[in-house]
Amino acid sequence: MAEREKVTVRKIVNLKGKKPIVMITAYDYPTAKIVDEVGVDIILVGDSLSMTVLGNPSTLQVDMNDMLRHTAAVSRAQPKSLLVADMPFLSYEANVNEAVRNAGEFLRVGADAVKIEGGSEYTDVVKALTRAGIPVMGHVGLTPQKHKLLGGYRLMGKTAEEAKEIIEDAEAIAEAGAFSIVIEYTASEVAAEVTKRVKVPTICIGSGPFCDGQVLVIHDVLGLSDAPPPFAKKYVNLKDIIASAIKSYKDDVENNRFPQEEMYWHMKDGEYERLLNMLRGVTSPEP
Ligand SMILES: Nc1nc(=O)c2c([nH]1)NC[C@@H]1CN(c3ccc(C(=O)N[C@@H](CCC(=O)O)C(=O)O)cc3)CN21
Ligand SMILES: CC(C)C(=O)C(=O)O
Ligand SMILES: [Mg+2]
């Protein structure tokens, strides 16, 4: 197979209307290698890391340190896929200067772009990052970092008023310079309307098929999540596969089948006898 070229932000923008964009999360080096070998368009180091990998109740618990460590790990896989890092809660909201400095840290550890949650209220951040040469992916609809304000992880844009707000948010973010926009858990009509109205690609999760691409959390795809959202599709039950492998190992150890002969090693000829003599206090010359 021909060597895949590095996916750039420009290439992602040019995919709109050409081919559905494939995006999936990854949080560590070995997983990123597998995902990149398959050849997806975009790898997202999502702040869903907080729940999927770190066992926290929401995305609010992860900070810059957590996100940088996992972005660096994924970056070491040297993915050809575009590498996007989620900016964590409180890393871009307080002011634009902080947002630029924090976003820059992600590029320093190997990210190609960052993603921020929010609409028209964050156009100043999108503009400042773009001005600094940091490509920004937007994220509208359900924005999990605001789940306490929104009233849970609910479907967004069910009413005309809420739908209009989401569409205006997406348009404002695109206008401010975002190179693409994630639309999470909205009515499918809302995602379709945004996709029609903005010139950058939309990448949807739980918002239907009328988008330029799709994104899922890898733990949901692999069947490793405790409580996957209603829109996730499980392609394999890795939980059962992993449990069965660990059970085989446990059975082998408990029944003296592991390790086998070819998996352990011996001292040099005669050395064991010399050792026994040494332990008895009898010395013998080295051979
Ligand atoms: N593993 C995983 N997959 C995800 O897609 C994901 C995360 N984690 N964490 C961050 C956000 C949170 N997401 C979620 C989480 C739960 C629901 C969910 O269960 N919604 C219910 C109602 C829940 C409520 O009212 O609070 C529903 O029926 O809509 C939806 C999206 C999507 N994102
Ligand atoms: C679900 C995607 C879009 C995300 O933001 C995450 O994984 O954190
Ligand atoms: Mg996220």
Q: Residue 243 Cα, ligand 1 centroid: separation in angstroms? A: 25
Q: Which residues, 6+ apart, have CB-to-CB distance to 76 below 8 Å?
A: 29, 32, 110
CA dist 47 and 89 (Å) reads 9
Residue 285's pLDDT band (cuts 50, 70, 90): low
pLDDT at 86: 99
- What residue ranges do the domains of the chain occupy? 9-238, 241-280
Q: Which residues, 6+ apart, have CB-to-CB distance to 67 below 8 Å?
A: 45, 47, 49, 85, 86, 87, 88, 91, 106
86 Cβ closer than 6 Å to some ligand 2 atom: yes
CATH topology of domain 9-238: TIM Barrel (3.20.20)
Contact 120, 16 (CB under 8 A): no
Q: Residue 59 Cα, ligand 3 centroid: separation in angstroms? A: 7
pLDDT digits (tens, 9 = 90+) for 138-153: 999 999 999 999 999 9
pLDDT digits (tens, 9 = 90+) for 183-212: 999 999 999 999 999 999 999 999 999 999
CA dist 23 and 84 (Å) reads 10
228 Cβ closer than 6 Å to some ligand 1 atom: yes
Write the single-letter amino acid at 117: E
pLDDT at 180: 98
225 Cβ closer than 6 Å to some ligand 1 atom: yes
Helix (H) or strand (E) holding 87: none
Beta bridge partners of 180: 137
| Alpha-carbon torsion, ordered 62, 67, 68, 71, to 10 deg | 160
pLDDT digits (tens, 9 = 90+) for 86-113: 999 999 999 999 999 999 999 999 999 9
**Residues annotated within a binding site:** 47-48, 86, 115, 117
Question: 199 is written with which tokens?
Answer: 């010139």
pLDDT at 1: 58
Which ligand is in closest contact with the Cα of 51? 1
Nearest atom in ligand 2 to 216's CA: 1
Residue 3's pLDDT band (cuts 50, 70, 90): confident
